[in-house]
Amino acid sequence: ALAEKLEHSPVKIFEWVYNNIDYTPYYGSFKGSQHTLLEKSGNDWDTCSLLMALYRVSNIPCRYVRGVIRMDIETAMNWIGVKNPQAAGNVFYYSGYPITSLLSSDRQTLLGFSGLEHVIVEAYLPYGNYRGIWNDSTEKIWIPLDPSFKNYEYTEGNLNARNVDFATSTYYAKVQELSPIEYHKAQITGNQKEMRITRQIKQKRFEFLPEVLPYYGSNMDEDKGVYYPYCIWRGSLDTLTSLEERHRFRIFAGAGYSEVEAHLSFPDAYGKRLILSYEPATENDKKVMDEGHFYLAKFKAVFRLDGEKIAEGKKELSARDIGGTELAGIYPIYPIPKEKDAEGNGAIGTVTKFTRVSVGGCHAFVVDTNGDTDRLIENRIQKIVDDIDTENTGLVDERVIGEILNIAGLRYFNNCERQAKEIASLNHYYYQPRISNAILSQRISPIMLAGNVTGIELTNEFIDADVWDDKYGDFLCPVEGVGDKKERNLSILIGANGSYFEHKVLEDTFDVPAVSTVKIIQLANERGIAIRYITADTISVLDGIGISNAAKKYIRNCLTEHPERVIIIPEKEIEYHDWVGIGYIVEDTETGNGGYMISGGLRGGETAEGAGCERALWKVSKKESYWKNVKKAIGAGYAAAEGAQKVMDEVGRILGKDLKTYQEMQDWAKALRWYNEQGYDITDPCLMIRAYKDATGRDLTLTVWQEATNAAIKEALKNYTM
């Protein structure tokens, strides 16, 4: 649609990409063309991929060209958005680029960079007089085009925000509705728009395509005695008609006990739903399960990408395995630079952390997009509508529950990064987030009868967030200088903000209370529980703290290996609704960077009540008319004992089948009547589910949700905004 809007003109297409796609430094293909367009940002690889996609749909032959450039320091600083030479070098380094600094003859002044790998596009055009007119009859030639290299204009802000530090003790004194960054911004007086540094692409009109690349040409700095080109290709160039795998970000996801693993290109997976779930191993096992013999069925773990199976476990699981735990993890395989490391290898990621997940549950693997994902989230909500008519193949519906978990993960990263970039801009800091991932998990437990597993029930949900590699990304430095006391304070603020959203995103998604490290420490302060600061020198304090031996062992090992760290922890466990446990911060005393841990080895948050997913399903589907009819039917049951048979008939009619016995319907009605007498709102669908479980010992979700008509769900979702 965009290429058509631009009349398939090579000049108009190049101009649009140049003027609208913001340059973001990272090495290799991360987003691909579609999501570069969606987020309107990308590096050289991804911006070139977008230009090529638009050219190819316009029947314009094109190819990637990959080479090495060098660049003077002023140009580099304008391009990436810093004013300090050392900061510019750190940005490229932490973004994964192989790079060499160019110094003056006395080695005191940084003049620029060499060895910087860069990608452009060559388009095969009838380029008479470099006009780029597509219907020109002159001879075709390969024209070099660089859509990612551009000049920026900056708006300077004042430094008032730097005078205000994050009031850590005040924020932690009680549970707060505002995030740490929102709370901190409220303490900053003055017009905050006037404090920010902003930048925008210096717009250019192209009557013709450029004759040469923007960095051809040179100048000589006679004072420093060096010949220094502005930017130049060095050596031979790689010409690629398509991206090689070694240039792409790839991800590995796996679960050990089930022996399942998936390898996939990140641009192909970007923005999609990557789910680990569990399904009957064969069609016969599905038949056995459907006939009510759950305990006889065999199961396998599978990875699905937007519903399409991409990997299946090697190991068959029995019904007795369902409800147990296994270790799952995800890690990156980085693009291999043209210049390899000292050992001759490219950068390969390793598993940094495993997460314990429920065998039989539903687990979303969400990778941080490092971009604005509002439009992506809107598309994912629509995906629920698109997929609802497809068959559910798993024990837990990965199409709906999996997508809810996926959307929650996207929202988590979107909220964290948007606010972090905003507070960094207020303080005149450059901020680049790390490449991170989160596993969002729906736990389950088995339903037992006479020693056999007869089904599953959903319990609670959690998020476990982690970073992939400290070297790549998450760079914070002052735009004008190199390091100051504000850097540590901002690191603490951004870290606490991430922890806040680890409970907030669960509460907003599932409509139940949730915990995170930040919230646990706030709850402890509200209740007068002392907060301890433990260092390697005071590690004996652990003996008097009421936490699990596993947590004590982890803390001891941490402080032994990293004596520069401090542990911030309540002196005893916290009870909050149905959740009991501890939360603590592992903070680097020099940088302010920290890990925010809660019980169970999670770097994240957890819902503190069950039925979270039931509430989310209600929130997503908004089947008000359906639940209204069920409420009326059940209401008739507890209003008059003789109405119980009518209740059973009405619910059977609504769901399209006879589901329950007469006695169970009476028990359900009685349970609801008891809740009503206690003052509960019996129109709440979650309460109806709870009352049903009280009466029958069975999970209503598997009945109501799976038996509800697809048409009703689609109709309810048409105007839904989560």
* Contact (CB, 8 A) for 246 and 346: yes
Question: At which of 612, 637, 669 does a domain end?
Answer: 612
* Helix, coil or strand: residue 430: strand
Band of pLDDT at residue 666, cut at 50, 70 and 90: low
- 664 lies in a domain? yes
- 264 lies in a domain? yes
Structure tokens at 97: 């680029």
pLDDT of 698: 58
**Does residue 231 share a domain with residue 105?**
yes
**Does residue 275 share a domain with residue 133?**
no
**Does residue 687 share a domain with residue 573?**
no
Distance CA 616, CA 514 (A): 14
pLDDT of 311: 93
Look up tokens 């996609």; give the residue.
Answer: 53
pLDDT of 152: 95
**Does residue 221 share a domain with residue 297?**
no
In this prediction, residues 690-708 reach a mean pLDDT of 52
DSSP one-letter code for 369? -
In this prediction, residues 209-229 reach a mean pLDDT of 48
Of 77-81, 215-219, 707-711, the range with the lowest mean pLDDT is 707-711
pLDDT at 671 over 80: no
Question: At which of 594, 612, 630 does a domain end?
Answer: 612
Question: At which of 240, 273, 295 does a domain end?
Answer: 240
- 316 lies in a domain? yes
- 162 lies in a domain? no
Nearest to 413 by CA among 270, 277, 530: 270
Condensed to tens digits (0 to 9), the pLDDT of residues 225-257 reads: 333 333 444 444 556 666 666 556 667 777 888
Band of pLDDT at residue 204, cut at 50, 70 and 90: very high
Band of pLDDT at residue 220, cut at 50, 70 and 90: very low
- 92 lies in a domain? yes
pLDDT of 84: 87
Percent of the chain with pLDDT over 70: 70
pLDDT at 675 over 80: no
Of residues 719 and 277, which shows the higher confidence score? 277
pLDDT of 707: 39
Of 287-296, 311-320, 492-501, the range with the lowest mean pLDDT is 287-296
- 64 lies in a domain? yes
**Does residue 522 share a domain with residue 420?**
yes
pLDDT of 466: 81
Of 124-128, 220-224, 270-274, 595-599, the range with the lowest mean pLDDT is 220-224
Distance CA 665, CA 646 (A): 10
* Contact (CB, 8 A) for 509 and 407: yes
Q: How many CB atoms lie within 10 A of CB 489?
A: 18
Percent of the chain with pLDDT over 90: 38
pLDDT of 681: 62
pLDDT of 240: 60
In this prediction, residues 593-598 reach a mean pLDDT of 92
pLDDT of 29: 83
**Does residue 627 share a domain with residue 607?**
no
pLDDT of 536: 94
pLDDT of 575: 95
Geometric angle at alpha carbon 287, from 281 and 290, rounded to 5°: 110
Distance CA 564, CA 562 (A): 5
Range picked from 105-109, 149-153, 244-248, 379-383 for highest mean pLDDT = 149-153
pLDDT of 634: 43
Of residues 241 and 564, which shows the higher confidence score? 564
**Does residue 484 share a domain with residue 360?**
yes
Distance CA 486, CA 208 (A): 47
**Cα Rg of the chain, angstroms:** 29
* Contact (CB, 8 A) for 110 and 89: yes
Domains held by the chain: number: 3
pLDDT of 663: 52
pLDDT of 139: 78
**Does residue 631 share a domain with residue 559?**
no
Nearest to 655 by CA among 705, 694, 610: 705
* Contact (CB, 8 A) for 187 and 143: no
pLDDT of 590: 87
- 188 lies in a domain? no
Range picked from 212-221, 274-283, 350-359, 537-546 for highest mean pLDDT = 274-283
Distance CA 103, CA 110 (A): 5
Distance CA 662, CA 317 (A): 36
In this prediction, residues 616-638 reach a mean pLDDT of 44
Band of pLDDT at residue 309, cut at 50, 70 and 90: very high
Distance CA 117, CA 119 (A): 7
Condensed to tens digits (0 to 9), the pLDDT of residues 441-478 reads: 999 999 888 888 888 888 899 999 986 554 444 678 88
Distance CA 591, CA 408 (A): 29
**Does residue 351 share a domain with residue 296?**
yes
Band of pLDDT at residue 644, cut at 50, 70 and 90: very low
Distance CA 51, CA 592 (A): 41
**Does residue 426 share a domain with residue 552?**
yes
Q: What end-to-end distance do the CA atoms of the chain give, in Å?
A: 28
Of residues 650 and 324, which shows the higher confidence score? 324
- 617 lies in a domain? no
pLDDT of 397: 78
pLDDT averaged over the chain? 78
Distance CA 119, CA 495 (A): 34
Condensed to tens digits (0 to 9), the pLDDT of residues 1-12 reads: 899 999 999 999
**Does residue 345 share a domain with residue 404?**
yes
Q: How many CB atoms lie within 10 A of CB 626?
A: 19
pLDDT at 520 over 70: yes
- In our burial notation (b when 16+ CB lie closer than 10 A, e otherwise), range 72-86 reads bbebbbbbbbbbbbe
In this prediction, residues 110-133 reach a mean pLDDT of 77
In this prediction, residues 701-718 reach a mean pLDDT of 38
Domain that holds residue 38: 2-157+196-240
Condensed to tens digits (0 to 9), the pLDDT of residues 394-406 reads: 677 788 889 889 9
Band of pLDDT at residue 91, cut at 50, 70 and 90: confident
pLDDT of 353: 66
pLDDT of 694: 67
* Helix, coil or strand: residue 583: strand
pLDDT of 660: 47
Band of pLDDT at residue 58, cut at 50, 70 and 90: very high
Nearest to 95 by CA among 43, 130, 37, 171: 43
pLDDT of 245: 62
pTM for the predicted model, two decimal places: 0.79
**Does residue 221 share a domain with residue 284?**
no
pLDDT of 248: 63
Sign (positive/negative) of CA torsion 31, 32, 33, 34?
negative
What Å distances lie between residue 646 and 662, 669, 690, CA to CA?
10, 12, 21
